[in-house]
RNA sequence: GCGGAAGUAGCUCAUCCGGUAGAGCGACAGCCUUCCAAGCUGUAGGUGGCGGGUUCGAGUCCCGUCUUCCGCUCCA
């Protein structure tokens, strides 16, 4: 694995040149922070999904998979907290170039005024020997009354402006209150702009009747709203998990670093439903399990690390990231969160439907707690790609670029190569190809010198090259060349399928 | 979003002070045949990111715009 900016650029160039990742709508100059997966990229991505899905759903009897829709009832996002957390009116100070949430600036200002009042009241209470509340109630000080009225007036304007989504008023309020930038101390503000991190669209073709709906900003809610359906129909017993792979959308202000942060991205996640009070035990369990999954890919040590969160999200009582050493540094690849009963309780409240589980062991009903594993598929793709990209100098001084992919993830498992076109070698190679292509992804190439074809396969990470030569015609043996060692062995044609399948199997990790 | 830099063939780049674009590699077709890229012949591929302006004339100067990169900012 290469390091540094230079390496990252090479990997991006390689990804494009060999059909892994293209910029979206490239012939129209592209669309910012949106990328398409090409012929090899989509194959690699699908293989990552399959590996994850099998290790979750197929290898665990108590985990099942679903595929929820991207569109969901708008109230889902009120219950989840996204409508509040993802809608920010922002304002920039032109002098300091700092950006603030306009509502926070105003709230801070009100807090300062309130602080003033409290100090006045406190003084009064000491003077008259009253409690704080008594002093407040008497409103002895006219300045206190004036300030309280002022705050109330601000709050009214503020709430009204926000409710009507009147951003000009919000700005005017900031100007009227003479709020200054804490950094530059100036009042040179830009207009207030609404940044909505959720994409929205209308459902219903008649404009007046249409409801605004969102493209889901996370896949988790599709699992939570189906919790009861799956638990009942699958007769699931706690603890159990629901897994899902799917697209999510976030209108990031700045989306950059190739496919690391995109506006449209794919998540692979599993929500594990447990008994309240056992969440930390399961949290630790899944942290270890998930780390094992990553290291089972055979990546070198030291590429992964845990990062425990100090600042917890509104839904979590414990959270850690698994970080990966990307070419641009250690960054989040996966999150493991103890989400408590936040989501199910919220949906219970907003929907009015009971989302509880009767535990036959304890004879109790409760809203289950949740431990979540959520991994960015595109980030996983980037992690594997960047760690697999190797530039080698061979003994003879020549260079080659190899994608050192785990064989089971490689887009193409075997390339079938006749040493040359004539003498019936091509026909024989076709025969071999036809016998293999139903079992794993194969590629056939007869153009160019054999060495060149090996290098091309190296560049897309094909683990095995099957070469048909003159000896094949005599004794039905072929050579099988291994990508990383470049070593060849001669085996019988009938053995090829078994040998390749064995070496690309999940079981042999 | 702000500041800086860049955008010419699939890729890497050239084209001097403004005079209607060129190479290497790659691709494709054919020849050759030698198990680790760069043998031979031929062919295709560009309204110079896009739009506008200045000029007799713009890849080249100016403005706008899109995209990318670097820094800042943002990222429950």
Q: pLDDT for A176-229, tens place per residue?
A: 777 777 666 667 777 777 667 888 888 877 666 668 889 999 999 999 999 999
With b for 16 or more beta-carbon neighbours within 10 A and e for fewer, the A272-297 pattern comes to bbbbeeebeebbebbbebbbebbeeb
Distance CA A496, CA A481 (A): 11
pLDDT for A5:
62
Question: Does the pLDDT of residue A6 top 90, yes or no?
Answer: no
In whole angstroms, B29 C1' to A488 CA is 32
C-alpha span between A340 and A312 (Å, rounded): 12
Nucleotides of B under 7 A from a protein CB: 1-2, 7, 10-12, 27-29, 32-39, 49-50, 66-70, 72-76
Q: Is the peptide bond prior to A441 cis by the omega test (within 30 degrees of 0)?
A: no
- Spanning CA of A254 to C1' of B67, the rounded length in angstroms is 14
State which residue has its Cα closest to the C1' atom of B65: A29
Model confidence pTM above 0.90? no
Question: Residues A160-189: what's their mean pLDDT?
Answer: 73
d(CA A52, CA A169): 50
Which nucleotide is closest to the Cα of A99 by its C1'? B73
Return the top range by mean pLDDT from A52-56, A128-132, A419-423: A52-56
Percent of chain A with pLDDT over 70: 89
Nucleotide nearest to A94 (CA to C1'): B2
Structure tokens at A233: 């129909």
State the virtual CA torsion across A141, A144, A150, A156 in degrees, nearest 10: -110
From the C1' of B33, which residue's alpha carbon is nearest? A420
Between CA A90 and C1' B60 the distance (Å) reads 42
Give the nucleotide at minimum CA-to-C1' distance from A312: B76
Please name which of A300, A290, A261, A445 lies closest in space to residue A373, comparing C-alpha atoms. A290
Supply the pLDDT for residue A62: 96
- Which nucleotide shows the minimum CA-to-C1' distance to residue A422? B33
Residue with nearest Cα to nucleotide B67 C1': A29
How distant is the alpha carbon of residue A193 from its chain centre?
27
Separation of alpha carbons A202 and A492, rounded Å: 61
Residue found by looking up tokens 């957390």 in the block: A85
For every residue of A475-499, DSSP letters joined together read: HSEEEEEETTT--EEEEEGGGHHHH
* CA–CA gap between residue A180 and residue A185 (Å, rounded): 5
Nearest CA to the C1' of B39 belongs to which residue? A449
Task: Find the Å distance, CA of residue A7 to C1' of nucleotide B17.
Answer: 39
Q: How far is the CA of A82 from the C1' of B75 (A)?
A: 14
Closest nucleotide to A450, Cα to C1': B35
Q: Which of A43-47, A112-116, A256-260, A365-369 has the lowest mean pLDDT?
A: A112-116
CA distance A55 to A266: 18
Nucleotide nearest to A77 (CA to C1'): B76
Q: Does position A92 have pLDDT exceeding 90, yes or no?
A: no
With cut-offs at 50, 70 and 90, classify the pLDDT of residue A447.
confident
Within 8 A by CB and 6+ apart from A213, the residues are A71, A72, A73, A74, A200, A201, A202, A203
Closest nucleotide (C1' vs CA) to A31 is B67
Q: How far is the CA of A17 from the C1' of B23 (A)?
A: 21
Confidence of residue A457 (pLDDT cuts 50, 70, 90): very high
Mean pLDDT of chain A: 86
Distance (Å, rounded) from C-alpha A393 to C-alpha A406? 21
Of all residues in chain A, the percent with pLDDT exceeding 90 is 51
The Å distance, CA of A182 to C1' of B21, is: 55
CA distance A95 to A181: 9
CA to C1' distance (Å), from A469 to B33: 12
SS3 call for A142 = helix
As a whole number, mean pLDDT of residues A236-253 equals 92
Number of DSSP helices (H) and strands (E) in chain A, helices first: 17, 23
Task: Look up tokens 């602080």; give the residue.
Answer: A115
- What pLDDT does residue A486 have? 92
Instruction: Point out the nucleotide closest to A314 (alpha carbon to C1′).
Output: B76
Length of chain A: 509
Å: A27 CA to B18 C1': 29
pLDDT surpasses 80 at A438: yes
pLDDT confidence of A140, banded at 50, 70, 90? low
Q: What are phi and psi of A416, to 5 degrees?
A: -105, 115
The integer distance in angstroms from the CA atom of A23 to the C1' atom of B48 is: 21
The secondary element (H helix, E strand) that includes residue A473 is helix A470-475
Instruction: Note whether A294 and A322 are within 8 A (CB).
Output: yes
- Element (DSSP H or E) covering residue A292: helix A279-295
Nearest nucleotide to A82 (CA to C1') is B76
Angle (CA) A199-A203-A207 rounded to 5° is 105
| Å separating the CA of residue A9 from the C1' of nucleotide B65 | 26
Shortest CA to C1' contact from A98: nucleotide: B73
State the ipTM, two decimals: 0.84
pLDDT at A398: 77
**How far, in Å, CA of A130 to CA of A471, rounded?**
105
The pLDDT-based confidence of A4 (bands split at 50, 70, 90) is low
Residue A279 has pLDDT above 60, yes or no: yes
Residue A17 neighbours by CB under 8 Å, 6+ apart: none
Q: How far is the CA of A417 from the C1' of B32 (A)?
A: 18
Mind listing the pLDDT tens digit for each residue in A333-374? 999 999 999 999 999 999 999 999 999 999 999 999 999 999
What average pLDDT does the segment A116-132 reach? Answer: 71
Cα-Cα-Cα-Cα dihedral sign, residues A75, A76, A81, A85: negative
Is the four-CA dihedral A296, A299, A302, A307 of positive or negative sign?
negative
A371 or A89, higher pLDDT: A371
pLDDT for A335: 93
CA–C1' gap, A443 and B42, in angstroms: 28
Nearest protein residue to the C1' atom of B2, measured from CA? A97
């Amino acid at each position: 694995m290469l390091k540094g900016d230079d390496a990252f650029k090479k990997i991006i160039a390689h990804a494009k040149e060999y059909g892994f990742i293209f910029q979206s709508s490239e012939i129209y100059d592209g669309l910012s922070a949106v990328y398409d997966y090409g012929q090899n990229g989509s194959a690699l991505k699908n293989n990552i999904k399959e590996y994850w899905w099998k290790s979750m759903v197929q290898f665990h009897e108590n985990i099942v998979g679903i595929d929820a829709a991207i569109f969901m009832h708008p109230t889902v996002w009120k219950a989840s907290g996204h409508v509040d957390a993802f809608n920010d009116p922002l304002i920039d100070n032109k002098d300091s170039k700092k950006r603030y949430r306009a509502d926070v600036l105003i709230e801070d200002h009100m807090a300062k005024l309130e602080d003033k009042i409290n100090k006045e009241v406190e003084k009064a209470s000491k003077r008259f020997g009253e409690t704080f509340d008594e002093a407040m109630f008497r409103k002895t000080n006219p300045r206190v009354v004036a300030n309280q009225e002022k705050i109330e007036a601000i709050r009214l304007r503020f709430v009204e402006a926000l409710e009507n989504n009147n951003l000009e008023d919000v700005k005017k309020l900031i100007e009227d209150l003479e709020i200054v930038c804490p950094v530059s101390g100036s009042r040179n503000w830009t207009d207030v702009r609404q940044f909505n991190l959720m994409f929205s669209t209308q459902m219903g073709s008649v404009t007046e009747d249409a409801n605004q709906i969102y493209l889901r900003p996370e896949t988790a809610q599709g699992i939570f709203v189906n919790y009861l359906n799956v638990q009942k129909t699958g007769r699931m017993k706690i603890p159990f998990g629901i897994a899902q792979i799917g697209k999510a959308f976030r209108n990031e202000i700045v989306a950059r670093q190739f496919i690391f942060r995109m506006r449209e991205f794919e998540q692979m996640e599993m929500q594990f439903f447990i008994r309240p009070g056992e969440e930390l035990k399961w949290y630790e369990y899944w942290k270890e399990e998930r780390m094992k999954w990553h290291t089972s890919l055979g990546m070198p040590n030291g590429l992964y690390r845990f990062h425990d969160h100090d600042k917890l999200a509104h839904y979590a009582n414990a959270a850690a990231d698994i970080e990966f050493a990307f070419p641009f540094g250690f960054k989040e690849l996966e999150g493991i969160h103890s989400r408590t009963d936040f989501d199910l309780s919220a949906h219970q409240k907003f929907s009015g439907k009971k989302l509880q589980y009767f535990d036959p062991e304890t004879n109790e009903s409760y809203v289950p707690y949740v431990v979540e594993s959520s991994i960015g598929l595109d980030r996983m793709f980037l992690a594997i790609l960047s760690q697999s990209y190797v530039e080698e100098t061979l003994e003879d001084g020549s260079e080659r670029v190899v994608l050192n992919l785990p064989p089971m993830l490689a887009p193409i498992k075997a390339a079938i190569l006749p040493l040359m076109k004539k003498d019936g070698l091509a026909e024989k190679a076709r025969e071999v190809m036809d016998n293999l292509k139903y079992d794993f992804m194969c590629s056939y190439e007869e153009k160019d010198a054999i060495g060149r074809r090996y290098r091309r396969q190296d560049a897309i990470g094909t683990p095995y090259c099957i070469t048909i030569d003159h000896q094949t015609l005599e004794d039905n043996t072929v050579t099988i060349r291994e990508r990383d060692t470049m070593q060849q062995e001669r085996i019988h044609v009938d053995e090829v399928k078994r040998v390749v399948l064995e070496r690309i199997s999940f079981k042999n990790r």
